[in-house]
Amino acid sequence: MLFQEIWRSGVSWDDEINQQCFEKWQTWLKLLPEIENLKIPRCYRLRTSAGQETEIQLHTFVDAGENGMAAAVYLRYAEKGKVECSLVGVRTRVAPLKYLTIPRLELQAAVIGARLAHLISEGLTISITKYVYWSDSRNALSWIRADHRRYSQFVATRVSEILDLTNVSDWKWVPTKWNVADEGTKWQSRLVLTSDIKWYKGPDFLYQREEEWPVTPDKMVEPMDELQANIHVHTETQRMAVPINNFQSLRGMVRATALAIRFLRNALSKCFTRISGGLTSEEIRNAEVFHFHAAQQDAF
């Protein structure tokens, strides 16, 4: 985030950065010594087992802001009323220099979370009984639940990848205050770097029963700004001069059409000689072509 801010300020390589960026740089440097006191347990569980009676779930939290995107994956062990949660992996990305709306960034964060959870599940040797993906973006969840082919290429491509890696029913809504991935998307000058914070242990509701978890709304307002532009084509249908439904044979319909075309030619043409007598092969062939064109125009 700091590198991008310096880049946007327009400073060249050999010039000094502005005072605001310099203060953020000094603040970041002061955080480095605190990392030496941070201790993260190597084992995912301390009080539960990985037996057959233990339910093991993989929870993925995704979030995005104007400065970046983040995804955090947790393992949840539930055994005989005891629950343990531990951080497995995190992936963060800064927002691109090219402007993207917050809903689009939220959708991209969902893609990052789906990829990370898929990578972790392939690397783990334990059996996962349930996958849950949490997002506080109603727009992103609406896109994932809807027919992605109706949306723009940006949305459709990313939703398609999400559906290849996850199930729609596994995506849930979570309030922003309970979304731990929110902490990875903002610049924070003061951090509490201890192993007992929710960033490493997961949100508090994961330690409760599933009935007490956040409830996902059944209906969400569908965002309209990413829908594909539809082109409506209006065509005029011409009524047939010969009612083809009144004929029982193709030969009778073609001969009646040839006579109708001859009548119109004789009535409207002043420069040609009137035609009389029996129908010629050319008139019959022209009548057949007329019906071929009419059928193609009606069907295609």
| Pairwise CA distance, residues 286 & 11, whole Å | 77
Crossing angle of the two packed helices 153-165 and 138-145, in degrees rounded to 10: 70
Under DSSP, the state recorded for 278 is S
Task: Output the six-digit token pair for 230.
Answer: 């539809």
| Pairwise CA distance, residues 97 & 268, whole Å | 69
Alpha-carbon distance values, 249 to 122, 159, 223, 252, 257 (Å)? 67, 53, 54, 5, 13
3-class state of residue 202 by DSSP = coil
- Sort 181 into a burial class: Cβ within 10 Å, 0-12 / 13-18 / 19+: buried
Question: For position 35, what pLDDT does the model report?
Answer: 83
Q: Average pLDDT in the 12-38 region? A: 88
Q: Average pLDDT in the 147-156 region? A: 88
For the chain, which residues make up each domain, given as ranges? 38-212, 244-299
| Pairwise CA distance, residues 153 & 98, whole Å | 17
Question: For position 60, what pLDDT does the model report?
Answer: 97
Q: Tell which CATH classification among 3.30.450.40, 3.40.50.2300, 3.30.420.10, 3.40.1410.10 matches the domain 38-212.
A: 3.30.420.10
| Closest to 66 in 3D by CA, of 99, 21, 108, 24 | 99
Q: How confident is the model at residue 295 (pLDDT cuts 50, 70, 90)?
A: confident
| Pairwise CA distance, residues 169 & 78, whole Å | 21
**pLDDT tens per residue across span 23-32:** 989 988 888 8
Q: Contact at 8 Å (CB) between 122 and 50?
A: no
**pLDDT tens per residue across span 96-137:** 888 889 999 999 999 999 999 999 999 998 889 999 999 999
| Pairwise CA distance, residues 240 & 175, whole Å | 62
Q: Contact at 8 Å (CB) between 155 and 139?
A: no
Point out the least confidently predicted range of 92-101, 154-163, 168-177, 220-229.
Answer: 220-229
Half-sphere exposure of 238 (CA within 13 A, CB side): 10
Across the beta sheet with 130-135, the strand order is 82-94, 68-79, 55-64, 130-135, 171-173
Residue 59 above 90 pLDDT?
A: yes
Q: How confident is the model at residue 242 (pLDDT cuts 50, 70, 90)?
A: low
| Closest to 70 in 3D by CA, of 139, 153, 163, 134 | 134
**pLDDT tens per residue across span 166-210:** 999 999 999 999 999 998 888 766 677 777 788 889 999 999 999
